[in-house]
């Protein structure tokens, strides 16, 4: 029986070989026509006028904060249940990450907790669409509008997700996407930062490229910047996947539906799903185990049967990296429980209905065995 992985990148060498040859023969490896085509394609998909290709979602968020003038003295409300990159970038622009707990029983940012943590120094809200499920955008946007805050969306997993008929990443000041191999579309490493505002876009374009702007007498360096440029080979890897994006998405949703059916009435777990199946990307298919179940032990048991699982994601406040901001593990209880009890199941595009059933049967057996020994 095949090993069931968390994800398999949906990439095929025969789709890219001609483009690779063309890039090699042109000698133009850094940003050029492939990167521009990649940017235009994503901009259209997410209905944003500006999409700027960068090296990762992490550098996308870094550019957004820099272009939004977020820095020392500012506070940013950040989803606590996320990959630590979301909070790291706030730290590295010199602002203070103020971590916000999850909505009870769910994975997304709780707007009530966000409101409670507002201060006169709050400058922005940086919220996550967890695993490609749309966050509570309307409430967060209302909060941002009421207090004049920048609204930044960590849509790392949410290319193809939607809310109220609008793509995730569209109705915010900045949205940031990832093309890491664990995401829906991959370029190896890569990201996009999108925005609506012309000045923000111009600033991010120059900050991506050392702060320089081309003029008649060569490049003029307007302000200190970064090198966050995507290269041609990365864009050439991603473009064919964007070309068949609808197929990639409907395949993930079909697998998710099979999981939802197979898990109906399952013992020892529930499935926090914040929206309809067709509004989510299922970058990860994540269940919550009940508190008496030891997640690490489940993961070990399933791995012995060649079934890969892992935690959903991290409760950032509970990690030593953020202790200097005064957090102790458990301070944000919903997120802390999510880190301990969430379980990502295998979801690779090539899996069959039988593969899904095999993962579910093995999970149910592992839960039953733990409970019988308790
Ligand atoms: C994957 C991920 C990131 C980091 O993306 P990179 O492209 O690897 O920098 C950030 N936030 C979330 C929510 C993610 O899932």
CA of 178 to the centre of ligand 1 (A): 6
> Using one digit for the tens of pLDDT, what is the confidence trace for 228-272?
999 999 999 999 999 999 999 999 999 999 999 999 999 999 999
Q: Does domain 245-373 have CATH number 3.90.1150.10?
A: yes
Give one DSSP letter per residue of 308-321, joined into a string.
--B-S--BGGGSGG
Domain ranges in the chain with CATH number 3.40.640.10: 13-243
pLDDT at 192: 98
Shortest-distance Cα residue to atom 1 of ligand 1: 156
pLDDT at 374: 83
325 and 96 in contact (C-beta within 8 Å)?
yes
Mapping DSSP to helix (H, G, I), strand (E, B) and coil, where does residue 65 land? helix
207 and 225 in contact (C-beta within 8 Å)?
yes
The atom number, within ligand 1, closest to the CA of 190 reads 7
> Using one digit for the tens of pLDDT, what is the confidence trace for 114-173?
999 999 999 999 999 999 999 999 999 999 999 999 999 999 999 999 999 999 999 999
Read off the tokens for 236.
Answer: 């050439």
As a whole number, the mean pLDDT across the chain is 97
CA of 281 to the centre of ligand 1 (A): 15
pLDDT above 90 (res 365): yes
The atom number, within ligand 1, closest to the CA of 56 reads 7
The end-to-end CA distance of the chain, in Å, is: 31
pLDDT above 90 (res 322): yes
| Confidence bin at 1 (pLDDT 50/70/90) | confident
Q: Check: pTM over 0.85? Answer yes or no.
A: yes
Mutate to test the pocket of ligand 1, among 90, 129, 154 (most ligand atoms within 8 A of CB): 154
CA of 37 to the centre of ligand 1 (A): 23
Among 202, 195, 176, 190, smallest CA distance to 230 is for 190
Ligand 1 residue neighbourhood (C-beta within 6 Å): 56-58, 82-83, 85-86, 128, 154, 156-157, 178, 180, 191
Domain ranges in the chain with CATH number 3.90.1150.10: 245-373
Which fold is adopted by the domain 13-243?
Answer: 3.40.640
CA of 368 to the centre of ligand 1 (A): 34
């Amino acid at each position: 029986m095949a090993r069931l992985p968390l994800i398999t990148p949906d990439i095929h060498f025969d789709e890219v070989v001609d483009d690779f040859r063309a890039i090699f023969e042109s000698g133009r490896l850094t940003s050029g026509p492939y990167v521009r085509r990649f940017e235009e394609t994503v901009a259209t998909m997410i209905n944003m006028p500006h999409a700027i290709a960068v090296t990762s979602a992490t550098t996308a968020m870094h550019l957004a904060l820099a272009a939004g003038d977020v820095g020392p003295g500012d506070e940013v409300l950040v989803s606590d249940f996320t990959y630590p990159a979301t909070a790291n970038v706030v730290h590295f622009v010199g602002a203070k990450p103020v971590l916000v707990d999850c909505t009870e029983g769910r994975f997304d940012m709780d707007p009530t907790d966000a409101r409670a943590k507002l201060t006169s120094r709050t400058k922005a809200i940086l919220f996550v669409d967890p695993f490609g499920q749309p966050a509570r955008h309307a409430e967060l946007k209302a909060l941002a509008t009421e207090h004049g805050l920048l609204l930044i969306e960590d849509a790392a997993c949410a290319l193809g997700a939607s809310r109220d008929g609008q793509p995730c990443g569209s109705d915010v000041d900045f949205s940031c996407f990832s093309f890491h191999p664990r995401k829906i579309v991959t370029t190896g490493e890569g990201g996009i930062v999108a925005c609506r505002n012309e000045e923000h876009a111009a600033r991010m374009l120059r900050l991506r490229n050392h702060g320089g702007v081309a003029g008649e007498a060569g490049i003029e360096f307007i302000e200190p910047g970064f090198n966050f440029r995507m290269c041609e080979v990365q864009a050439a890897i991603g473009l064919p996947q964007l070309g068949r994006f609808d197929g990639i998405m409907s395949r993930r949703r079909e697998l998710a539906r099979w999981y939802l059916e197979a898990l109906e009435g399952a013992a020892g777990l529930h499935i926090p799903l914040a929206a309809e199946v067709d509004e989510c990307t299922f970058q990860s298919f994540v269940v919550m185990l009940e508190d008496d179940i030891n997640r690490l032990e489940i993961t070990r048991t399933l791995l012995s049967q060649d079934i890969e699982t892992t935690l959903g994601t991290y409760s950032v406040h509970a990690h030593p990296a953020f202790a200097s901001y005064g957090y102790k593990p458990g301070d944000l209880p919903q997120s802390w429980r999510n880190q301990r009890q969430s379980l990502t199941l295998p979801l690779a595009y090539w899996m069959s209905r039988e593969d899904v059933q095999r993962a579910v049967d093995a999970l149910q057996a592992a839960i039953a065995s733990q409970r019988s020994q308790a």
